[in-house]
Structure 1
Amino acid sequence: MSYTQLTKRESQVMDILWKHDKKMSANDIKLASDGLSIYTISQVLQYLLSIGYVEVTGIGKNKKSIARLYSPCISESEYVSSFIKKETCEEIAVHYIQNSNDISEITKLEQLIEKKKKELAGK
Structure 2
Amino acid sequence: MRLLTKRELQMMTALWHSENSLSAKEIGELDPEISMNTILAVLRKLLKSNLIKTDSVEMSGSTLMRKYVPILQEEDYLTSAVSDKALKKIVAQYISESDTNEDLNQLEILIEQRKKDINR
TM normalised by structure 2 equals 0.77
Residue in 2 that maps onto 1:88:
86
**Which residue matches 1:77?**
75
Question: Is the Cα contact below 8 Å between 1:25 and 1:60 reproduced in 2?
Answer: no
Q: Quickly say closer, same or farther: Cα 1:94–1:67, change in 2 above 3 A.
A: same
What SS class does the counterpart of residue 25 from structure 2 fall into? helix
- Distance 1:108-1:41 versus aligned 2 partners, 3 A rule: farther
In the TM superposition, 1:18-33 aligns within 5 A as 18-33=16-31
Could you say what secondary structure the match of 1:21 adopts? coil
| TM-score relative to the length of structure 1 | 0.76
- From the CA coordinates, give the structure whose radius of gyration is larger: 2
Cα distance, 1:51–1:35 mapped onto 2, change above 3 Å: same
* Identity between Structure 1 and Structure 2 (%): 30
Q: CA deviation at 1:49?
A: 0.8
Match of 1:117 in 2: 115
- Return the alpha-carbon distance in structure 2 between the equivalents of residues 107 and 59 of structure 1: 48
Offset at residue 45 of structure 1 (A): 0.6
Residue in structure 2 matched with residue 12 of structure 1 by the alignment: 10
* 1:53 and 1:72 in contact (8 A); partners too: yes
Match of residue 47 from structure 1: 45
Distance verdict in 2 for CA 1:97–1:18, change over 3 Å: farther
Determine if the alignment matches structure 1 residue 62 to structure 2 residue 60. yes
* Contact in 2 for aligned 1:26/1:38 (Cα 8 Å): yes
- Report SS of the residue matched to 1:82: helix
* Counterpart secondary structure, 2:2: coil
Question: C-alpha offsets along residues 9-33 of structure 1, whole Å, 9 cap, x if unaligned?
Answer: 2222122122223311111111112
